[in-house]
């Protein structure tokens, strides 16, 4: 996989997660995401 394509996939994944959080502002989801990041 080329670096360019990999970057697109990563950005798409981040965008997908961001949209999910915006559309579903629930405590457990945010808490789970925080635990995942840290």
Q: What is the pLDDT of residue 11?
A: 94
Residue 27: per-residue pLDDT: 61
Note the pLDDT of residue 9.
94
Q: What are the backbone dihedrals phi and psi of residue 24, each rounded to the nearest 5 degrees, phi first?
A: -135, 75
State the pLDDT at residue 21.
77
Instruction: Give the pLDDT score at 30.
Output: 65
Q: Tens of pLDDT along 1-38? A: 799 999 999 999 999 988 887 777 666 666 776 777 66
Q: Quote the pTM value.
A: 0.48
Sign of CA dihedral 15, 17, 18, 20: positive
Contact 29, 20 (CB under 8 A): yes
CB 17 within 8 A of CB 33: yes
Name the residue among 29, 34, 4 with its Cα closest to residue 19.
29
> Can you give the residue range of the structural domain that contains 17?
3-37
Number of domains composing the chain: 1
Q: What is the pLDDT of residue 28?
A: 67
């Amino acid at each position: 996989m080329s670096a360019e394509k990999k970057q697109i996939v990563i950005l798409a994944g981040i965008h997908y997660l961001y949209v999910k959080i915006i559309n579903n502002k629930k405590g457990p989801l945010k808490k789970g995401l925080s635990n995942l990041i840290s």
